[in-house]
Structure 1
Amino acid sequence: MSQELGSRARELAKPYYEDALPAHDLFHAARVRNVSIRLAAECESRVDRAVLSAAAWLHDIGRPQERMGAIDDHDEWAAAEAADLLEADGVTADRIDAVTHCIRAHSIRASSPEPETLEARLLFDADKLDAAGARGIVRLACIVGERSGRAGEKYAVIDDASVSGTDSSDSPDITLLQEWARERLNALYTAPGRCLGDSRRQFMDDFFAQFESEIGVEGER
């Protein structure tokens, strides 16, 4: 069962992502799983990759429920649901506890517990890294759209008021994405995570510099 834990968790998780929006769908879970395993390979300490993989597949299964207002905390809900799924699938209690701790601790919310195991820290880092770099920019833009749809009004604008010369908006501008990414990259726990984060941070700095150069104007049109 140990060797199959990750692949079994993937199959168990699939139905929960059917109603997920792009920012938190099965493709996001797959990216988090792949990056977490990549980070694990760069760790000097032993990592239970089966636990890490299972937690990655299951970590956001509660997102659709939270988005629809059916639950308040997708972390706690996903951990409880994952525990039931894995127990029914014959996974031992100690491994279930390891997986569910990773799930409970993966979020950047102030209410989330600190990740106490290496697996939990690697999952946290991989999840935050999916909000940085090229894919991260696209994903953060999806989150803006997702929140706008839920609120029924514009959540942010694709502009930068500091350089565009346009009237300021009541909504945040593109710098919101920079702030979100910076907050996540500054929170990384592991050395491999921070190393990868540095390269993605540099890409984003270059991207936003290009963004500013494209919308900057001189004088009146």
Structure 2
Amino acid sequence: MSPELDALARGLAVPYYDDALPAHDGCHARRVRDLSLRLAGEWDRSPDRGVLAAAAWLHDIGRPLERVGEIDDHGEWAAAEAAPLLASEGVTAERIDAVVHCLRSHSIRPSSPDPETPAAKLLFDADKLDAAGAVGLVRLACIVGERSGRAGEKYAAIDTGSVDGADAGVPDLTLLREWARERLDALYTPPGRRRGESRWAFMQDFFDRFEAETAAPDA
């Protein structure tokens, strides 16, 4: 572990999250940092842990700007923003390049490059795992609310779609299941996939319970 790079990146990143909403705030960055390091400890391909921790702190610093439409790609923006910040603090060019690759490749969007290094794959997996399990359900629901606020209308309904109502035609809770499964299917590392299946099992139980609680009464 490289505590100096970890702490440095945290200090640089935290102010960028001041205007972040809950799904992509500093708490999310901390969880991704912690989980990525745990995954690293369970894999035989050892990354530069300082690079991994730094990238986790910095990966979503552009989210507040992307949310309001000031930038198009928070990963590319974070890479361009972080590189000179790290250089000004004396971080070596090699490690900066490694962090930049992690930032550019952490997103699931089709335009993002594939993660090629152990650190980049671990960051990708930890970020996607934070959209699964108990934490993931809360985050995905926050994203639905965030997108509803931005669009000015309901983005999805907290329902199963099994009952006719005013929200016909609006995506229902199935959307959260699809978002989570898409991310879990994209995981790169063996420890990431193991944790993913555990979190998916919890989500399946949750969806079953949700459907039972919202079922229409017997006629």
TM-score, normalisation: structure 2: 0.97
| 2:149 corresponds to | 149
The amino acid of 1:130's aligned partner reads: D
| 1:96 corresponds to | 96
Deviates more, 1:198-207 or 1:167-176: 167-176
Q: Count residues in correspondence.
A: 219
| 1:50 corresponds to | 50
Please report how far the alpha carbon of residue 218 of structure 1 lies from its aligned counterpart in structure 2 after TM superposition: 3.3
The amino acid of 1:111's aligned partner reads: S
| 1:201 corresponds to | 200
DSSP-derived class of the 1:77 partner: helix
1:118-150: CA deviations, max 9, x gaps?
A: 100000000000000001000000000000111
1:60, 1:75 within 8 Å by CA — same for their partners in 2?
A: yes
DSSP-derived class of the 1:113 partner: coil
For 2:171 and 2:84, how far apart are their aligned partners in 1?
40
Please report how far the alpha carbon of residue 167 of structure 1 lies from its aligned counterpart in structure 2 after TM superposition: 6.1
DSSP-derived class of the 1:106 partner: coil
| 2:105 corresponds to | 105
Structure-to-structure mapping, 1:98-137, within 5 angstroms = 98-137=98-137
- 5+ residue gaps in structure 1? none
DSSP-derived class of the 1:44 partner: coil
Structure-to-structure mapping, 1:1-221, within 5 angstroms = 2-162=2-162, 164=163, 166=165, 169-219=168-218
The amino acid of 2:5's aligned partner reads: L
The runs of at least 4 aligned residues of structure 1 exceeding 4 Å deviation read 165-168
For 2:182 and 2:25, how far apart are their aligned partners in 1?
22
1:46-74: CA deviations, max 9, x gaps?
A: 22110000000000000001111111111
Please report how far the alpha carbon of residue 170 of structure 1 lies from its aligned counterpart in structure 2 after TM superposition: 2.3
CA RMSD of aligned residues (A): 1.4
The amino acid of 2:172's aligned partner reads: D
For 2:146 and 2:24, how far apart are their aligned partners in 1?
10
For 1:99 and 1:28, how far apart are their aligned partners in 2?
18
- Identity among equivalent pairs (%): 68
1:185-219: CA deviations, max 9, x gaps?
A: 00000000000001000000000000000011234
For 2:145 and 2:47, how far apart are their aligned partners in 1?
36
1:101, 1:115 within 8 Å by CA — same for their partners in 2?
A: yes
2:157, 2:167 within 8 Å by CA — same for their partners in 1?
A: no
1:129-180: CA deviations, max 9, x gaps?
A: 0000001000000000000111111000000113x35466221001100000
1:5, 1:50 within 8 Å by CA — same for their partners in 2?
A: yes
1:161, 1:167 within 8 Å by CA — same for their partners in 2?
A: no
The amino acid of 1:210's aligned partner reads: R
